[in-house]
Amino acid sequence: MAAATAPYEAVGDGMRRRDPDPAREAVQAVTIPLVVGIDGSEASLEAVDWAAREATLHAVELHLLYAAERGQETADVLGAATGRVEETAPTVPLSTEVRHGDAASALIDRGRNAFALVVGSRGLGGLSGMLLGSVGLAVAARADCPVVVVRGTAEHRGARFRSIVVGVEEGEASGTALRFALREARVRHCRLVAVHAWSTSAGARTDPRAPAWYALEARRRPPAQVLDDALRDSAAPYDEASVTRRVAEGPARQGLLEAASAADLLVVGARRRKGHMGLQLGLTSHAMLHHAPCPVAVVPQI
């Protein structure tokens, strides 16, 4: 009888779970992983649960990254996170890594070759569950790949609503985010709600002395056309996805939060900053990261 193969193998400062199918393992070896940051907190374990399900949906490796101080014991944190993966997605390819130094920098560096980065949402003081921790905000603002901040109730984290919401802006900034959201809706076999929020000055509608910015506003496409054009440009590869269009008059923050109240995932885009490192997270993206009732994906514009 052949000797049993050990389920894990050492890789650098971490480990990697072997796949019993050699052919499948060879394919996974050349794919980029879904990376989740862990630190032993309950928030990071909730992120692990979410990421394990996401890795299963997309058939990618799950990579647990722990940024620890030198000399710090890591076995307990790695063991707890690995145990959660074993419970949630026992067949997903799994690897772990320990890095020493700043957690945000370690995640951002790893994100240069990642399917996505997943982090937990940290509460501050008595506002637990509402405010995002500094690591999550730094990663969302600077990573080269999509970043998912796992937040909200168990109901929202557990994909029970079968709905994904994506914010759509006028222009090209939302194209990558929309394609990301369409792909998520396809693998989850759920509906996508595309939200475009708009507002105009009530006085400017009738005042002939309206400022120049209103003339520019008036020449813009109607809000419904913004959605139609964005979906036409992005949805071709995802014809099977069920898409609901929603035009909301008022602040984007309000429209997205209302839509996200019955969503499993909220997707927003982030522009590249010209001449600077990182992304431009607007007020709306900041508000979603801090207050959304469900996990939030920040997708950089390509």
Tell me the C-alpha distance between 230 and 227, whole Å: 5
Residue type, 93: P
CATH classification (class only), 157-300: alpha beta
Using CA atoms of 243, 179, 168, 236 in order, give the dihedral in degrees to the nearest 10. -60
3-class DSSP state for residue 11? strand
Closest CA to 169 of 129, 96, 119, 220: 220
Under 8 Å CB-to-CB from 26, ≥6 apart: which residues?
Answer: none
Prediction pTM value: 0.82
Tell me the C-alpha distance between 231 and 203, whole Å: 32
Domain boundaries, the chain: 8-151, 157-300
Residue type, 113: N
Q: Look at residue 97 in the predicted model and tell me its pLDDT.
A: 95
Check for a shared fold between 8-151 and 157-300: yes
In tens digits, the chain (302 residues) has pLDDT values of 333 333 544 444 555 554 555 444 444 445 799 999 999 999 999 999 999 999 999 999 999 999 988 888 999 999 999 999 999 999 999 999 999 988 999 999 999 999 999 999 873 233 333 346 788 889 999 999 999 999 999 999 998 999 999 999 877 668 899 999 999 999 999 999 999 998 764 334 434 444 444 345 444 678 888 888 888 877 666 666 789 999 998 999 999 999 999 999 999 998 866 555 555 778 889 899 999 999 999 999 87
Tell me the C-alpha distance between 124 and 131, whole Å: 6
Tell me the C-alpha distance between 45 and 237, whole Å: 34
Q: Look at residue 14 in the predicted model and tell me its pLDDT.
A: 54
CATH number of 8-151: 3.40.50.12370
3-class DSSP state for residue 257? helix
On whether the CB atoms of residues 204 and 214 are closer than 8 A, the answer is: yes
Under 8 Å CB-to-CB from 72, ≥6 apart: which residues?
Answer: none
Q: Look at residue 23 in the predicted model and tell me its pLDDT.
A: 45
